[in-house]
Structure 1
Amino acid sequence: MLTSIRNFRNTSQKKQRKAIMSKKSKNDTAPVQEFEYKAEMKQLLDLIVHSLYTHPEIFLRELISNGSDALSKVRFNALTDQDILDKESELAIRLSIDSKELTFAIEDSGVGMTEEELIANLGTVAKSGTLGFMQSLKEQQKELDGNLIGQFGVGFYSVFMVTEEVTVETRSARPDSQAYRWRSSGQGTYTIEKIERAQRGTKISFKLKEDYKEFAEEYRVEQIVKKYSNFVDFPIYLADKQLNSITALWQRSKNELKDEEVNEFYKFIANDYKDPLDYLPISVEGMVSFKSLLFLPSEAPPELLYRQGELENRGPQLYVKKVLIQNECRDLLPEYLRFISGVVDTEDLSLNVSREVVQSSPVMAKIRQILTSKILGWFETLAQEQPEKFRTFYKAFGPIIKIGLNTDFTNREKLIELLRFESTKTADDSYVTLKEYTERMGSEQKEIYYLSGASRSQLLAHPNLEYFQEKGIEVLLLTDPVDVFVIPSIHEYDKKPLKSLEKADIDFSKEKKDDKEPLADNLLAPVLQLFRDTLGESVEDVIESHRLVSSPVTLVSGKDGLDSQMEKMMKMMQGGINMPAGKRILEVNTAHPIIRNISGMIIANAGNPLIKTAIRQLYEGALLVEGSLDSTTDFLSRMNELIEAATLSR
């Protein structure tokens, strides 16, 4: 059972005998030999109990893992060795507990141990040892910490967290083997004696400390087994009840998987009551080897989208040899794929001594790289072969995927190809890709246009869209709050720049489809100047518009300015503190009747107070359209003033 914790196989396995005691064992048939640990076992155990393990329940995972290793080895040996002891014996792990006596036992029918193996595996845990290790830490001036410890296995010794003394009874699978009993309180010595034991394998037994009596309760033991060891290759019994399911679906090939069992497995590991949207089995062999089964949830919980601080522990489960090491391993995937659940199982990872934390290593980085590439390929396959399923996925998780554009530069091009947008030429809730957009651009169009806003209906009514609608030019409609941060960072696609319609530097044709003529130059200048004088510091400038068709005015940003949606998002992120509104450029449609009427009023009487009232109302109306009007009180008061003037009897 304990062959997996050999850590110094190349070191001498000479017995560290302190003395061969003359006393007899309890059955008075064999002498009890006492051995001394080479290094300070007490000091090491104190480290194990108080520093290495976060949760005492880990002891059961470690003992089951050792038992599984022993069973795997005997199963392999049985393929070539016909004389193996108890060849027909069931390969299993059996647990025995007594809640009244607080006794606990775990027994396997694995390869067992000889006397030499007992000494090598259980007697030299500190051989290289505590002294050498602590001296090394001292020389490096590092604090004693579980995460810094080397990779010598002490899994078996985790049992001393919950007990004062441990007894190990074992017999090797060799047909002529002798059985032995190993006993220790972990205080510097251990004893070994010959015993009578007919069956091969290993039994570990002990009495639980009062503080850990919970581990003598059936429900608690079953809970721990299902949490950490549910997919161990061999059955784990408590009395006659099998606690684990054994079936590690991720070890099967894709054509062996059935949707029904995969769906149930997903619900088990993801704690979800719905079936997954899709799943991806992965098997990789090479520089690193691992198997994985990953899932797309059918929908995203609201908090997953933006409350990232509460989601630090999301990620697939990490297994090593089918034993759970980390329930939610965030290091396996980048942040923007944190909605993926599933299992990753490898034998290549180096763990810290407690096996609770994965040590930083090139192996983990390589696994992460491969998984990310496979997942993005999976999404692209869904888009091509199952567009409706991809549409459901993108609607739920598109906002998170977009975050990767500014964080994962290795896969940036793949992510750009996955982007989907609504546009002026798509139906509600339908999408277009950048590739599709560019393929249907007119030959005269040199830029990709987009407009950001709160909703599709708001954007379709925006004045800045009028020219493009009239000319039949497609515009991407960005309603996802994440868009204002990630889309401008793309800069260009297929050598075509992405340009916000709120930018003042778009090159418009002055050709009009209607018969409305703009103001003549001699009339235009006074109008624009009065707009500038009236609005003053509220705007950066007032210019003639070539984009407006049916609206009198609109607000745009300068070449280097923030568009309105970006400004609002920045203000929200900063809580509105110390975030003054940026100055915008007011564009005036000089062919619009309102502007022409204002021109006439200026000619008649430039001092007419209604002119400035109308100008201020037009400006704040433009703010209202884009959702940037902070207060409506003055706006409504001014509107009433204008209505009163318009309804004044002549």
Structure 2
Amino acid sequence: MSDTTPSNIQEFEYKAEMKQLLNLIVHSLYTHPEIFLRELVSNASDAMSKVRFARLTESGEAVDAEELKISISVDKETRSFVIEDNGVGMTEEELIANLGTVAKSGTLGFLQAMKEQQAGGQLDANLIGQFGVGFYSVFMVTDEVCVETRSEGSDACRWRSTGEGTYTIEKIDRSERGTRISFTLKEDAAEFAEEYRIENIIRKYSNFVDYPIYLDGKKLNSVTALWQKSKSEMKEEEVNEFYKFVSVDFQDPLDYLHISVEGVVSFKALLFLPKEAPMDMLYQQGALENHGPQLYVRKVLIQHECKDLLPEYLRFISGVVDTEDLPLNVSREVVQSSPVMSKIRQILTGKILSWFERLSTEEPEKFRQFYKAFGPVIKIGLNSDFANRDKLIELLRFESTKTEEGQYVTLREYVERMGDEQKEIYYLSGDNRRQLLSQPNLEYFQKKGVEVLLLIDPVDVFVIPSINEYDSKPLKSIEKADIDFASSDDEEKESVSGTMIESLLKVFKETLGERVESVVESHRLVSSPVTLVGGSDAMDSQVEKMLKMMNKDSASAKKILEVNPSHPIIRNLASLSMLNEHDPMIRTVAEQLYEGALLLEGNLDSSVDFVSRMNELIEAATRSSQV
């Protein structure tokens, strides 16, 4: 820092990280230059909210007649652009803190990583406002920016920079509180000096800012607390615009919920369901932790992301909640412990779950789209929101052996079409529908026409076992050995006699040794020779697979090998065993059948021995056919 002129202009150098950040923003966001106006308007709105908040908390009402507003003026000929607000303004120290350093720790690293991930090196412009660096997007449309500002009780200052390494600050004469930002647009950004272009951007991004926005004296935005209207007064177009404003989403919402409650607590809310869920929201641990609707008190924004309004599994919902039952100067700590907030959260959660249920019956296609996007998050709520557990269970949807791909069945629908003799709800977990439908463990159920739920969502294996039972019907994996199979079909099949199968099972067990828990006769197999199942207390195979992915050194639990006595391969092996139980062919086939079962369930560690053994068996088969 140094005094460079008698007028006491002080020059400051950006920190190294700030230089990199500016370069990244300017050169990686050029496909969305209009974002600069959204960010400048947002900053101005925040500054005025602080003024209004101070007024109301000090006096209980707005005693100052001065209109809080944002004014924009442009000149098409000179390409000049000015945006001014009468908000809280900044001191010299705040200018240095807010405009001279990176606003949030890790911002540069995050944006750099996102740039590298994006095809063509383009960043999503919506990220900028989330990391406190929105002001700098102005350098996409200009080469130099001038900020004149004054905070109540402080000297006015002028901040100026080209964004290339340094900035200057000087004291100036300015009597008005607030901030004025001025610059000349680059030639390739001349469109932003056109009034129609400014109007379109304001209506697109900032139509519902809480303060009037004027362009050369003409008011552009609606400044409407939309949630205060009755649902019948709301127009679909303005609801969609409001959603885009509060969520920074470019798509219309899938659906919305308007709530007006008066009683023990009173509040109004306007909540939205997005059409799509970002991948990090669904599968990144803690992604929803700090999300939530906006909290207003008497139309004054208190928290932009109020996580205490909803349980974590519902925080993908955006919108606004406005109450008069909290003080305006409420702190975050008070919000967290307030009985009023606890009651609002309870009511909101109940109404949202009822909303989902109503969608499922009245608009099933819309519900299907919602569930496809957010079903995994809803399921997580089962193990955290015990007060609403029963409601959440009713919302669960699964594919099954009796649904088309992409179609769902509820647990209630499953139970309603169970046969009288069926006492359990059956499920099978795996990576995808095709893989599950090829599982040998499914053969008996397919033949008998017994419906099996197909759990292909990774979350399912952690959630479904915790349900235990539904409508007094236990939920049971068909991979478990303790399922009670009817044996009436055994008479219809040509099977190996009891003595012969016992002898063969003994050879199998000797061959496989400690790799299996036991080898038993199967009653579930129809067209496959063998299958692997877990004991009654065994871990679900998908859970085991996930744990193994996290820790490659973890050992797999031993399974039970079930052998189908009516399959031709098993009958042939039994005959060979009666002639000579030491025949090496029996042991070779036993090894191959066991590893084939591992292969089908995705647990074969190495295919080298499997393929080598298969070639050996093919050679033997082709040799014997020539004799």
TM-score using structure 1 length: 0.68
Assess if the C-alpha contact under 8 Å between 1:316 and 1:330 holds in 2.
yes
Q: 2:181 aligns with which of 208, 211, 217?
A: 217
Q: Distance in 2 between matches of 1:429 and 1:106?
A: 54
Equivalent of residue 51 in structure 2, options 63, 84, 101: 63
Q: How far apart, in 1, do the equivalents of 2:86 and 2:335 lie?
A: 27
2:596 pairs, out of 600, 617, 621, with: 621
In the other structure, the counterpart of 1:321 is 298
643 and 395 in structure 1: CA distance in 2 versus 1, 3 angstrom threshold? same
1:578 positional shift:
4.1
Q: Taking structure 1 as reference, are residues 289 and 218 closer, same or farther at Cα in structure 2, changes over 3 Å only?
A: farther
1:261 to 238, 247, 251: 238
Change (3 A) 1:56 1:500: same
Contact kept, 8 Å, 1:270 with 1:342, in 2: the verdict is yes
Look up the match of 2:433. Answer: 456
How many residue pairs match? The answer is: 492
- 1:239, 1:467 → 2: CA distance? 77
State the shift of 1:570 in Å.
2.3
> CA deviation digits over 1:417-451, x for unaligned, max 9?
00111111112211111111111111111111111
Does residue 435 of structure 1 match 2:428? no
Query: 1:397, 1:306 → 2: CA distance?
Result: 11
Residue 139 of structure 1 is matched in structure 2 by none
Return the match for 1:579 from 542, 554, 558: 554
Cα distance in 2 between the residues matched to 1:475 and 1:353:
52
* Structure-1 separation of matches of 2:403 and 2:533: 25
For the residues of structure 2 that align with 1:353 and 1:466, how far apart are their CA atoms? 62
Task: Tell me how far 1:346 sits from its aligned partner.
Answer: 2.0
The equivalences for 1:470-485 within 5 A come to 470-485=447-462
Counterpart AA for 1:624: L
Relative to structure 1, the CA distance from residue 451 to residue 355 in structure 2 (aligned partners, 3 Å threshold; closer, same or farther) is closer
Following superposition, the deviation at residue 587 of structure 1 comes to 0.5
Q: Using the TM superposition, give the Cα deviation of residue 312 of structure 1 relative to its aligned residue in structure 2, in angstroms.
A: 3.2
CA distance in 1, matches of 2:264, 2:304: 25
How far apart are 1:314 and its partner, in Å? 2.2
Deviations, residues 388-420 of structure 1 (Å, cap 9, x unaligned): 111111111111110011111000000000011
Question: In structure 2, how many angstroms separate the alpha carbons of the residues matched to 1:289 and 1:547?
Answer: 58
| Post-superposition offset of 1:313 | 2.8
Q: Superposed, which structure 2 residues align to 1:156-555 within 5 Å?
A: 207-209=155-157, 215-217=179-181, 231-232=209-210, 235=212, 240=217, 242=219, 245-350=222-327, 358-512=335-489, 515-555=492-532
- Output the amino acid matched with 1:216: R
From the two aligned structures, give the one with the greater helix fraction: 2
**Matched residue, 1:92:** 67
Deviations 1:297-346 (A, max 9, x none): 11122222101334433221222232322222222211211211111122
Show CA shifts across 1:494-525 (max 9, x none): 00101100010000111117832322121111
Q: State, as a whole percentage, how many aligned pairs show the same letter.
A: 61
Structure 1 CA distance, aligned partners of 2:332 and 2:47?
11
Closer, same or farther: CA 268–230 of 1 in aligned 2, 3 Å: closer
CA deviation digits over 1:195-251, x for unaligned, max 9?
A: xxxxxxxx96864345797943169xx999x9999554x646687364764111111
Paired with 2:303 and 2:564, the residues of 1 have a C-alpha distance of: 63
Q: Is there any run of 5+ residues in structure 2 with no aligned partner, and where?
A: 1-42, 74-81, 96-150, 161-168, 170-177, 184-198
Q: Distance in 2 between matches of 1:206 and 1:362?
A: 40
Aligned-partner Cα distance in 2 for 1:545–1:606 = 21
- Which one-letter code corresponds to 2:299 in the other structure? K
SS of 1:528 mapped into structure 2: helix
Distance 1:396 1:236, change over 3 A: closer
- Contact (CA 8 Å) 1:325, 1:355: kept in 2 or not? no
- CA–CA separation in structure 2 for the residues paired with 1:368 and 1:355: 15
**Post-superposition offset of 1:70:** 10
Look up the SS of the partner of 1:217 in the other structure: strand
Residue in structure 2 matched with residue 639 of structure 1 by the alignment: 614
**Residues of 2 paired with 1:427 and 1:256: CA distance?**
41
Letter in 1 for 2:568: P
**Whole-Å Cα distance in 2 between the matches of residues 427 and 484 of structure 1?**
21
**Structure 2 Cα separation of the partners of residues 490 and 641 of structure 1:** 47
- Whether 2:578 is the aligned partner of 1:603: answer yes
Larger radius of gyration: 1
C-alpha separation in 2, matches of 1:543 and 1:369? 52
**2:68, 2:85 within 8 Å by CA — same for their partners in 1?**
no
- Measured at CA, do residues 555 and 239 of structure 1 come closer, stay the same or move farther in structure 2, by a change above 3 Å? same
Q: 1:18 matched to which residue of 2?
A: none
Distance (Å, rounded) in 2 between the aligned partners of 1:481 and 1:563: 12
Shift of 1:73: 5.2
Letter in 2 for 1:442: G
Contact persistence 2:532–2:597 (CA under 8 A): yes
The answer for the alignment partner of 2:4 in structure 1 is: none
Secondary structure, aligned partner of 2:272: strand
Alpha-carbon spacing, 1:96–1:437, altered in 2? closer, same or farther (3 Å): closer
- 1:125 counterpart residue number: none
C-alpha deviations, 1:361-411, integer Å up to 9, x for none?
A: 222222211111111000000001101111111111111110011111000
Alpha-carbon distance between aligned partners in 2 of 1:230 and 1:57, rounded to the nearest angstrom: 11
User: CA separation of 1:269/1:553 partners in 2, compared to 1, >3 Å: closer, same or farther?
Assistant: same
- Write the distance in 2 (CA, Å) between the matches of 1:256 and 1:551: 64
Three-state SS of the structure 1 residue aligned to 2:488 is: coil
User: What is the CA-CA distance between 1:92 and the residue it aligns to?
Assistant: 3.1
What is the DSSP-based 3-state SS (H/G/I as helix, E as strand, rest coil) of the residue aligned with 1:594? helix
Q: Distance in 2 between matches of 1:95 and 1:462?
A: 65
